[in-house]
Amino acid sequence: GENVEQHPSTLSVQEGDSAVIKCTYSDSASNYFPWYKQELGKRPQLIIDIRSNVGEKKDQRIAVTLNKTAKHFSLHITETQPEDSAVYFCAASMVPNKFYFGSGTKLNVKP
Amino acid sequence: EAGVAQSPRYKIIEKRQSVAFWCNPISGHATLYWYQQILGQGPKLLIQFQNNGVVDDSQLPKDRFSAERLKGVDSTLKIQPAKLEDSAVYLCASSLDQYREGSREYFGPGTRLTVL
C-alpha cells in the first residue's frame, strides 16, 4: 500500500517567519493530497488540498506544491502567527479514496 | 451544512470491558471511515464503508473490533474486550463518494477512549 513520510516531526519558528513541511509518498497512483491542521483535543481540519494535475495551489498565507516526478509535496505557511501553532498532517489518496496519513508535524510559532 | 457527529466524546473503561462508538456522517456522504489516532501519531484507518458495504477492513483487529453501517448512514464501532493499547481517539470521517477523485474527507470531533 501507500506509504507517506512527513518531515520534520517538530518545527519551531518565530512569528512572522515562514514554515515549510514536506511529505513524500510511494505510490505513483496517488492523485489527491490534502493537508490537515489539528489543534490540541480537536478534530483534523482540512486547510488546503491539491490534485495531481496541478503543481501549486495557494490560499492566502498557505500554499502547497506538488512534484509528481519526485513524489513529494510540501506545505508552505508564510507570515506565521501564534494561532498557526498546531499539528499538521499530510495525506495521500487515490480512487477509490483511501487516505494515507503522514505522522504529523508539530508547529510552534513563538510570539 | 451539519458536520460529522460522534458520541460519546469521552469514555473511560476498564480492560476487558466493552465499548461502542456512534457516528453520523454528513448527509449524502456515501463513504464513511473509522480511524484510530494514538497520541502523537497520524490517524490510522480501521475500516472504510461505501454505503453499507465494507471497502477495506484490513487494519481492523477483527478478534476484538467490529463495525457496521447497516442502513448506509450511521455507523457503530465496537471493541470487545478492550485492551490497554486501545486507548486512543477514535475518529469518524465521511466523504461524498470514494469513487470521485479528490472527494474531500471531513472529520468528526472524535471519541477519546481511555482503558484502565
The pLDDT tens digits for B12-60 are 999 999 999 999 999 999 999 999 999 888 899 999 999 989 999 999 9
Which residue in B40, B50, B107 is closest to A44 by CB distance? Answer: B107
pLDDT reported for residue B49: 94
The separation between the first and the last C-alpha atoms of chain A, rounded to the nearest angstrom, is 41
Which DSSP state fits B81? S
**Residues of chain B found within 8 Å of residue A49, distances taken between Cβ atoms:** 102, 104
pLDDT classification of A108: cutoffs 50, 70, 90? very high
On average, the pLDDT of chain B sits at 92
What 3-state class would DSSP assign to A8? coil
Does A99 sit within 8 Å of B98, measured CB to CB?
no
Does B56 sit within 8 Å of A98, measured CB to CB?
yes
- A→B interface, C-beta within 8 Å: 6, 31-32, 34, 36, 42-46, 49, 51, 89, 93, 95-104
The mean pLDDT of A56-71, rounded to a whole number, is 95
Question: Tens digits of per-residue pLDDT, A4-44?
Answer: 999 999 999 999 999 999 999 999 999 999 999 999 888 99
pLDDT reported for residue B1: 53
Does A54 score more than 60 pLDDT? yes
Which residue in B91, B99, B108 is closest to A96 by CB distance? Answer: B99
Does B44 sit within 8 Å of A34, measured CB to CB?
no
The residue of A4, A25, A64, A97 whose CB has the most chain B CBs within 10 angstroms, and thus the best one to mutate to test that interface, is A97
pLDDT classification of B61: cutoffs 50, 70, 90? very high
pLDDT reported for residue B110: 95
Distance (Å) from the alpha carbon of A90 to chain B's nearest alpha carbon: 9
In the A/B pair of chains, how many CB contacts fall below 8 A?
63
pLDDT reported for residue A41: 85
pLDDT reported for residue A89: 97
Does A59 score more than 70 pLDDT? yes
Which residue in A6, A45, A97 is closest to B103 by CB distance? Answer: A97
Residue-wise DSSP of A21-86: EEEEES-TT--EEEEEEE-TTS--EEEEEEETT-SEEEETTEEEEEETTTTEEEEEE-S--GGG-E
The grid cell for A34 is 490534502
Distance (Å) from the alpha carbon of B86 to chain A's nearest alpha carbon: 18
Does B2 score more than 60 pLDDT? yes
The mean pLDDT of A50-73, rounded to a whole number, is 93
The mean pLDDT of B77-92, rounded to a whole number, is 97
